[in-house]
Each structure stands twice: as structure tokens, then as C-alpha cells.
Structure 1
Amino acid sequence: MLASLQAPPVRTVVADPQSVHAAIESRFCCREFLADPVERETLERILRVASWAPSGSNNQPWKVYVVQGASRAALSQKVRAAQDALSQDPALADSYREPYQYYPVEWVSPYIERRRACGFGLYGVLNIARGDRVRMNEQLLRNFDFFGAPVGIFFTNDEILAEGALVDTAMFVQNVMLAARAEGLHTCVQAAWNRFSSVVLPHIGAQGERLVCALALGHADVDAPVNTFRPDRADPASFTAWLD
């Protein structure tokens, strides 16, 4: 059994709070990466820091699979082929089901407006015209190449765990993204892979597990037009109730 990490001492003050704020505010969904490799030592440091995420009863339900090199390329090819087949034959949809329902069956306000604004904004910077199914599909397929990132990460839970494990793992994933920013790296959290969990899980050796999401990680291509897209955020006054 591997040794457990020892908890750091309790600190009442963060030495540089602005760096924490900067990591949060500078995180965005990077959709074009450079091919520059990321050292394993860096990845291990990110995961070590991220492991201090909270979880119910300290269950720490997350499992992590890092794919690079030939394994990444082979998986990308498999899933792109599955997506191509699905595009040509929608009847295959029953063969590719998400392990949990990510989006609502019916979209209502304000979520439908936010979804549309996000889609129009993204396609706008990519010069993809409304109804251009070919370009839309090309952009969808970029998901399955991790947008060019050299590192792909899959997060899973044991199947026996309940929905609370999804909440715990989401907090862990957020920690990974913020720790990556501390290393000068960017990320894109991805739910697109979930539909193809029946392809992903055998490839990474995660039998008996549920795919939570994937993450592309690497150095951002700061010159890529797609990386200029930053959707806005609602003002806290719109989602906060103060009860005295």
C-alpha cells in the first residue's frame, strides 16, 4: 500500500491571496494547445496538490487515468471513429450512452439563453456559420484529440458509489485545473467523452467504474483565435440570497 500524504499545517492566512484569485480568474476552457510536452513530475505535483479536495467522509472517490503518446493517439482514433459512425447512423445512439445525464431534457430560461450565447460566441470566433454541419462536426471531433493537448486525463468513480461521488470528484477536478494554472498550464474540462465511455473505459483499464469527465491539459496556443473566446459570468447578485 502506498503511503498517505500528511496533511499540511492549518494556516489562517494565505501568503499571496491574489495568486489564488488569479488562478481562478485566468482559468478558461482552452480549445487549442501547443504540442509541447508536460513533464511527469509536473503532472504528479498537480495531482498531489489537487488531492486535498474535500470529499464526504474523506472517501476520496476519484480515480485518475493519464493518457499520453501512443495510448492517447489510439484512444483518440477509436472515439473519433465511433463519433463518425454515430453521425452517419443515429440509430447507434443506444450503443453510446452517457453514464449519467449531464444536461436537462428540456432547456428553460436562463439556461437556454446562456447555452445559446456560449455556442454562438464559440462558433463566432471560429467563423462557423449557423447550420454549417460539416464545420460543426469538425469542431466536435477536436474534443477527441484533446484539442491538440499532449496530455489527456480521465476521471472515474467506482460504479457502486452514489451521486455524491460526482460532487466530490468535481471538486477534485477543479483543484487539478487550478493547480495546472500554478504551473503555467491550461486545461479544458470535457464531457464530450462521456457518451463513449464504453470505448474509453476498456482502453484505460477501468472496468467496473463510471466515467465522470475528461480533461485536456497542456500549454495554451495563445495565438489561436478560439482561445480568445471567454463567455461572461452572471453577477453574484443574481444568484445570491442574503438571509440575516
Structure 2
Amino acid sequence: MNAPERHLDLPPLELDPLRAERRALDPTQVEAAIVSRRSVRAFRPDPVPRALLERLLAVAARAPSGTNTQPWKVYVLQGRARDALCEQVCAAHDAIRANPALAAEYQEPYDYYPSRWVSPYLDRRRENGWGLYGLLGIGKGDKDRMHAQHQRNFRFFDAPVGLMVTIDRVMGRGSLVDTGMFLQNLMIVARAHGLHTCPQAAWNHYARIILPHIGASDDELLVCGMALGWADEDAPVNRFVTPREPLERFVRWVE
């Protein structure tokens, strides 16, 4: 049984950039929303009010895009529609484990990861994976628990809201960049309202299931999914925080 919706008392939303620019910003609050964003992997069942979701999406849509194409499309999954998709994809995920040859039927629509891993990216990937599994007590050869943890993706980590984001296939690679900025906006404004998110490329392999379920056309490309809701702060998995490289590792000053 779902918990009752939280009471909303939101101030008027200002979407005019010129008017909004005149309002004083507290840089520490903006920074806190960015720095406190992390991929949460356990959520409470409390619903997110429709009015708040609409507000988040409206603010996120102020993201820049090349020649203002605004290529993103967003499908919001809740309730039975969300649950039905989770069951379908989890069943396919289990079927692939039982018969790995089936993986050929579930190809991601674009290469999110490289075909060949090299350092330092491979090192960071390994550190991320074993850091998470270590926190959960999942050993290197424990394939059953690895499978179960990976499948948590396909239940949106129990978040009450699942998002699927697409673009039209006719668009170029730059639209993926534009959509990434929209997603970042969404995650940051969600934090500003006390919510958490988890962007999920794991769903991409199951686009052939997802697109018809959400009513998307064959001309759309699934960019990613996202879990959104109120974090379960007592869940051990939510203590996992990924490190970041120091500036000297990725910044070059050219003068």
C-alpha cells in the first residue's frame, strides 16, 4: 500500500530566465545540490506528487540544446505501468542468465561503453564495481548475488517513479549531449527538493521491451532510464559514494 502523498507548498515557479536572473542565488545551496547528488540504489515507497514532478521537468527543460532543438522526450512510469515493465524486463534478464545466447536479441541502441576498456577508465570501473559489491558483502565469484543486485536496476531500486528518456533516431550525436544536460538539470533540481535519483544505462539493452510498453515509436532511441524518489537513508547501499579525480588529473591550464 502506497504512503499518502506529501503536502506540497511550493512557491510560484519562475521560468523566465531574465526575471530569474534578477533573483539572488545562494551559491552554497547550488553547490550543495550538485555535490550531494549521487546514484541512490534504495528508495522509500512514498509517492512523489504529480505537481512536484511537473515542476522538476519544467525546470530541467531549461537545459541548453543546439539551436534549441530540445530533443529529449520523457516517459514517466508510476503504479501498474511501472510494475508491469519491471516484471517484463526482470523476466528477460533471468532468461538471458539461463540461456546467454538470448543476449543477442537484446542489443543496446548505441554504444554507451567502449568496446575495449583501457586505463584509467578500466581501473575506475573496477574500483566502482568492487567498492559497491564490497559494501554489500558480495564476493568476486558470487554470481547469484551479483545477478540479483544487477536486477535491482530493473525495479528502479524500488523508487516510486521511473523515467525513460528518448530522442528521435533522426537526430545526431550532439542530441545525446543535449539530453545529458537535461538529465543533469533534472537530477540537480530533484536534489534541491530533497529527492534523489539514479540514472541507469542498464535499461538500454531492453529497448525492444521498453519502447512499445511506454508508447514510444520505433523512430525513437532509448537514451537511458532513471529512478527518482525519496532515498532510504537507512539502506547500507546508500552509503556508497564514488570518488572523484583531483583537478590536476583532468584539467590543463592553457595560457
| Aligned partner (choices 209, 225, 232) of residue 243 of structure 2 | 232
**Corresponding residue for 1:243?**
254
Counterpart amino acid of residue 206 in structure 1: A
**Corresponding residue for 1:198?**
208
Q: Within 1, Cα distance between the matches of 2:135 and 2:126?
A: 14
- Residue 168 in structure 1 maps to residue 183 in structure 2: no
**Corresponding residue for 2:155?**
145
Alpha-carbon spacing, 1:151–1:168, altered in 2? closer, same or farther (3 Å): same
In the TM superposition, what are the counterparts of 1:31-180 in structure 2 within 5 Å? 31-180=41-190
Identify which range, 82-91 or 40-49, moves more after superposition.
Answer: 82-91
Structure 1 residue runs of 4+, over 6 Å off? none
Q: Within 2, Cα distance between the matches of 1:157 and 1:62?
A: 5
- Residue 209 in structure 1 maps to residue 217 in structure 2: no
Q: Within 1, Cα distance between the matches of 2:162 and 2:23?
A: 34
Alpha-carbon offset, residue 196 of structure 1: 0.2
Q: Within 2, Cα distance between the matches of 1:232 and 1:165?
A: 28
Counterpart amino acid of residue 9 in structure 1: L
Secondary structure at 2:75 match in 1: strand
| Aligned partner (choices 204, 215, 232) of residue 221 of structure 1 | 232
**Corresponding residue for 1:189?**
199
Counterpart amino acid of residue 217 in structure 1: L
Q: TM-score, normalised by structure 2?
A: 0.92
Q: Within 1, Cα distance between the matches of 2:187 and 2:36?
A: 10
Alpha-carbon spacing, 1:6–1:216, altered in 2? closer, same or farther (3 Å): closer
Q: Within 1, Cα distance between the matches of 2:224 and 2:240?
A: 22
Q: Within 2, Cα distance between the matches of 1:213 and 1:197?
A: 9
Alpha-carbon spacing, 1:190–1:14, altered in 2? closer, same or farther (3 Å): farther
Aligned pair count reads 240
Secondary structure at 1:29 match in 2: coil
Q: Within 2, Cα distance between the matches of 1:15 and 1:140?
A: 39
Q: Within 2, Cα distance between the matches of 1:114 and 1:224?
A: 24
Alpha-carbon offset, residue 104 of structure 1: 0.9
Alpha-carbon offset, residue 7 of structure 1: 3.2
Whether contact under 8 Å (2:15, 2:59) holds in the other structure is: no
Q: Within 1, Cα distance between the matches of 2:22 and 2:140?
A: 51
Q: TM-score, normalised by structure 1?
A: 0.96
Q: Within 1, Cα distance between the matches of 2:22 and 2:65?
A: 21
Secondary structure at 1:178 match in 2: helix
**Corresponding residue for 2:17?**
8
CA RMSD of aligned residues (A): 1.3
Q: Within 2, Cα distance between the matches of 1:125 and 1:190?
A: 20
Alpha-carbon offset, residue 93 of structure 1: 1.6
Counterpart amino acid of residue 221 in structure 1: D
Per-residue CA deviation, residues 13-67 of structure 1 (Å, 9 max, x unaligned), is 8521111100000000000000011000000000011010000000000000000
Secondary structure at 2:17 match in 1: coil
Whether contact under 8 Å (2:42, 2:232) holds in the other structure is: yes
In the alignment, structure 1 segments of 5+ residues that lack a partner are none
